[in-house]
Amino acid sequence: MNNLSMAFKNLRKNFSFYALYLLSVSLVITVYFAFTSFSMNSVMLEKISGDGRVESMCNVISVFLVAFVIFYMSYSNRFFLRRRTKELGIYALLGYRKSRMLSLLVSENILIGCGSLIVGLVLGAIMHKGIVYGTTALLNLSIDNSEIPFFNFDAITNTVVFIFLIMFVMAISNALFLFKTSLMDLVRFEKSAEKRMVFKKTPAIFGFILIIIGYGLALDIFRGSDSLWFTVGFYPTGLLTAMLIAAGTVLFIASFLPYAVQKSKQHKKTFYTETKIVTAPNFIYRIRSNAKTLIMLTLLSAATLTVSSVMALSLFYPIAAVARIAPSELEFRIEEEGQLSSAKLLISQYAPDDSVTYIQTDIYKVTASAEKLPMEYSVGTSKGSAENENIFREAGFECISYSQYISLLQAQGRNDIAGKLSVLQGDECILVKYQPNADGSDETGSIYSLNINNGSIPLTVKATTLNNPISFANSVGTMVVNDNVYEQIKLSTALESSIISINGEVIEDNEKLFEDMSNLLNNSPYLQGHSHRVNEIMSANSSTFLLIGFLVVLFFIATGSILYFNNISAVSDSKADYEILSKMGYSNRKLMRILRKQILTFFGIPFLFGLIDCIFATIVYKTGLMQDLLGNTITLYFPTMIAVALTTLIYLIYYFLTVRTCYKTALKD
């Protein structure tokens, strides 16, 4: 029987064992081919990247992608080589030369690789088409999808050459392993593949302390400008925190967990149960023999959860902040006579007049005196990259009336906020905050004396709010005052500006209208649009999130597959132990319970540690790298919660798949 026939026979007889390996490698190739096709899609890149930013990101992501594919296929090859060592030892006893055994391994790898490559290319082409259609629809791009071929032959060539190079390197690695390993080592290799790690009390405690210090350092960011994140620097402190947590995780898993289980043996009543007396020693053995793999999985899980949750938060937060940055569907400052009439005439071409609301808000700038004035009193205007960002803004409160404030909130669809407000008394005001104070305080109860021509008006801040009715491009330091006070200010103060706020469902998400309005207003930097700003954010960030999404998918494939293979290997090694337990009177139901607990432990440790790391990393990211325009409410973390929930679901799918395969391996074969 030639090697190719033997390879076919081995794959056919052990198809259930190789099935997930084939699927996992196919998924890796799918993602790689889809990414390569996308990065070589000149039609798409010309539409979404005018400054070369996407191309640069593709180059960076490709480095991670190549490294991942090499790592994953090498790990998978090592895993299956380890599973075959006893079989290879038997072949050696039967007189097979090592060159023939190597030829058999190469044949099997070629068959699996070719099968995975065919599946990966087809699925990758479908995935690439889906990405193109999705991006086109999301960004409203004018692309003729027929111009983009189903198969990009340059990408196919790149993928095929890359995969076969990896297979060639794996063949060399297998050859080195076979020719330097003796017959006895081949037979015993499966039981001693990883060097066992010894656990001691001192490193166990030290690892726990390092983790606590790392988490404490992460929470230090809440001290604001006094924290190490600001005094020392964000990135040095972040690097130190990551190193402390990583080192602590290594020591905690390798020493503290088995040490804690070892100590639990002293409690005889809880230890000597029909389940724990089996699972605890098995747990200690697996920790000691697979500590490196478990540590790698824990760090990989932390990276998977963190990247997915940060990506979700990064996508959600800017869009949610648009409610403050541009609260009205259209808004502009009247700079010339007749602009409002021209704007109404233009909008009437897109929507009936009775379906659109026009509210004119006259803003009066008033100086004030107090022991301490808020940051908003003197902060400059802000619109990110707008031209008016650099325009000097004189210090003062920009006053609007309470009735104008209510009308604007209602027109913007924020009736719930308007309904909760109580009428202002003559000496009360509401201060609109640009962002929450870093120390958590607010100006409620503060008294500011507004300076007007015939004296001053002392006003007490009844409440502060983040619900600004006018965009920051047109008003910062907005103060809502009683209508009577507003009339007094109006009589004695020069008009600062008149802002037109336009709202209505019929004009939402109309980029053509915004473009025409911009032309009408001579590209005024004071023109703002809610839907337009959302579209800008989506257009600017979609490619970034798409590329990061490739990495997240790879993390999921890697973490789940390695957990699967590692547990299958451990159960296969212990198959004789389960047979002994069965002969001792353990029912299949009890053996299944033992299997579930063992597998759950090795799924749970990476996930729980990764989840804790993800929580602290997300807090640091949100607090240190994102502008605090929306406060710190729990609703801001809903996208992160959704990302974690999806990750948990994927882990559960892998878990139940692993349990099912382990049942078959340990109890039914």
Residue 529 CA to residue 525 CA, distance in Å, equals 11
CA distances from 91 to 85, 104, 183, 569 (A): 10, 11, 10, 21
Terminal-to-terminal C-alpha distance of the chain:
26
Q: Phi and psi for 559 in degrees, rounded to 5?
A: -60, -50
**662 pLDDT band (50/70/90 cuts)?**
confident
How, if at all, do strands 368-369 and 447-452 pair?
Answer: antiparallel
**383 pLDDT band (50/70/90 cuts)?**
very low
Sheet strands (E) in 85-237: none
Q: Phi and psi for 642 in degrees, rounded to 5?
A: -65, -40
Q: And the tokens for 319?
A: 């869009």
Q: Which residue has the higher pLDDT, 274 or 43?
A: 43
Q: Which of 5-19, 47-61, 314-328, 627-641 has the lowest mean pLDDT?
A: 47-61
**328 pLDDT band (50/70/90 cuts)?**
very high
Q: Which residue has the higher pLDDT, 169 or 547?
A: 169
The continuous run of DSSP H or E covering 16 comes out as helix 15-39
The 10s digit of each residue's pLDDT in 499-549 is 999 999 888 888 899 999 999 998 888 999 999 898 888 777 766 676 677
Q: Any residues with CB less than 8 A from the CB of 275 and at least 6 apart, and which? A: 590, 593, 594, 597
If DSSP codes are grouped into helix, strand and coil, which group holds residue 337? coil
Is pLDDT at 16 greater than 60 in this prediction?
yes
If DSSP codes are grouped into helix, strand and coil, which group holds residue 72? helix
Residue 242, pLDDT score: 86
In this prediction, residues 611-632 reach a mean pLDDT of 82
Assign residue 509 a region (left: φ > 0; alpha: ψ between -120 and 50; beta: otherwise): left
Is pLDDT at 164 greater than 80 in this prediction?
yes
The 10s digit of each residue's pLDDT in 464-488 is 999 999 999 899 889 999 999 999 9
Residue 628 CA to residue 407 CA, distance in Å, equals 26
Residue 448 CA to residue 90 CA, distance in Å, equals 90
In this prediction, residues 539-560 reach a mean pLDDT of 72
Residue 409, pLDDT score: 94
Residue 398, pLDDT score: 93
Is pLDDT at 315 greater than 50 in this prediction?
yes
Residue 264 CA to residue 252 CA, distance in Å, equals 16
CB 89 within 8 A of CB 187: yes
Residue 662 CA to residue 567 CA, distance in Å, equals 8
Return the domain boundaries, the chain: 1-193, 270-326+532-669, 331-528
**593 pLDDT band (50/70/90 cuts)?**
confident
**53 pLDDT band (50/70/90 cuts)?**
low
The 10s digit of each residue's pLDDT in 86-144 is 666 666 666 777 677 777 777 777 777 788 888 888 888 888 887 777 767 666 666 66
Residue 478, pLDDT score: 93
Sheet strands (E) in 518-598: none
3-state secondary structure 130-142: HHHHHHHHHHCCC
Q: Which of 279-283, 350-354, 492-496, 589-593 has the lowest mean pLDDT?
A: 279-283
Residue 351, pLDDT score: 82
* Residues 564, 567, 570, 574, CA torsion sign: negative
Return the axis-axis angle of helices 530-573 and 276-325, rounded to nearest 10°. 170
Q: Phi and psi for 400 in degrees, rounded to 5?
A: -130, 165
In this prediction, residues 173-200 reach a mean pLDDT of 60
Residue 384, pLDDT score: 43
Percent pLDDT > 70 in the chain is 76
**222 pLDDT band (50/70/90 cuts)?**
confident
For residue 97, the tally of other CB atoms under 10 A from its CB is 10
In this prediction, residues 220-228 reach a mean pLDDT of 82
Is pLDDT at 189 greater than 60 in this prediction?
no
CA distances from 284 to 81, 288, 297, 299 (A): 25, 6, 17, 20
Q: Which residue has the higher pLDDT, 532 or 179?
A: 532
For residue 282, the tally of other CB atoms under 10 A from its CB is 17
Predicted TM-score (pTM) of the model is: 0.71
Name the nearest CA neighbour of 243 among 622, 640, 613, 623.
Answer: 613
CB 25 within 8 A of CB 76: yes
In this prediction, residues 363-385 reach a mean pLDDT of 78
Q: Which residue has the higher pLDDT, 257 or 514?
A: 514
Mean residue pLDDT across the chain: 79
In this prediction, residues 20-35 reach a mean pLDDT of 78
For residue 454, the tally of other CB atoms under 10 A from its CB is 8
